[in-house]
Amino acid sequence: MNISISQENYLKSILKLEASDGVATNQALAQNMESTPAAVTGMLRKLMKEGLIEYEAYHGARLTESGKHHALLTIRKHRLWEVFLVEKLNFPWDSVHSLAEELEHVGDEAFVNRLDEFLNHPVFDPHGDPIPDAKGVMRERPNLIPSNLAEVGDVFVVCGVVDSSSEFLRHLNQLGVKLGKSFQVYKRYAFDGSSEWKGNQGRLVTLSSHVSEKILIQLQS
């Protein structure tokens, strides 16, 4: 039962949509895969025949245990490669996604586990997303909230992002916002929801609400 690259990408997309919209329509999936509904139909049939999804027309697709396992292992590979690219090859965090997208389809489990060991079993990828363990179990990230929910005076650590697109990450680079850095909310402007943060050196950072909504933080006690 060999899974093709295309099939792996479908499984990943289905997993993603299951997490957000509950159940996906073929159209939503087509959009996510940058493909067409007609193409999706054929692929879903194939995935069903291989026991990777359950599928009923007009009622969306759900991953089976096996399908979920494969999807999570693919995500594991992806995120481990991102760690490798950023930590070992010194790529900036905004430029590793597409490379990891290629690398995630290479090699078998033994290989990935050696990579994991080489990287010292990292738990989060460079965007703060949790890395599933060797058995394909997604680690839970503890109580992160979008930064726009923090109130004036709150101190917090940046732990993740909701949007991992290069554009967004590059914007954060410019602001000097990165994972692990801590800030205090300094001001909030009611009229547009934008906020100002004070960094460690007292430097002020201004963020629009669109940006702060996509930054995940952990409040300090």
Partner DNA sequence: AATATTTTTTAATCAAGCCTAAAAATTAAG
Partner DNA sequence: CTTAATTTTTAGGCTTGATTAAAAAATATT
Please report, as ranges, the residues that interact with a second copy according to CB under 8 A.
Answer: 88-91, 99, 102-103, 106-107, 111, 114-115, 117-118
> Among a second copy, DNA, none, what binds residue 102 when CB lies within 5 to 8 Å by partner kind?
a second copy
For residue 104, give the 3-state DSSP assignment: coil
Report the residue number, 70 or 127, with the smaller CB distance to DNA. Answer: 70
Give the nearest distance from C-beta 101 to a second copy in angstroms: 10
Nearest to 15 by CA among 5, 27, 24, 25: 24
> Among DNA, a second copy, none, what binds residue 90 when CB lies within 5 to 8 Å by partner kind?
a second copy
106: left (phi over 0), alpha (psi -120 to 50) or beta: beta
Q: Does 7 bind DNA (CB under 7 A)?
A: yes
Place of tokens 């054929």: 42
Report the residue number, 38 or 89, with the smaller CB distance to a second copy. Answer: 89
Separation in Å, CA 160 to CA 72, 115, 121, 173, 180: 19, 23, 19, 14, 9
Place of tokens 């669109």: 210
CA pair distance 89, 163, nearest whole angstrom? 23
Q: Does 5 bind DNA (CB under 7 A)?
A: yes
Pick the piece of the chain touching DNA (CB under 7 A) from 1-9, 99-107, 120-128, 135-143. 1-9
Report the residue number, 90 or 200, with the smaller CB distance to a second copy. Answer: 90
> Among DNA, a second copy, none, what binds residue 38 when CB lies within 5 to 8 Å by partner kind?
DNA
Site for DNA in 35-94 (CB under 7 A): 35-44, 46, 57-60
**DSSP code at position 191:** T
CA pair distance 126, 31, nearest whole angstrom? 26
Q: Which residues bind DNA (CB under 7 A)?
A: 4-7, 25-27, 33-44, 46, 57-60
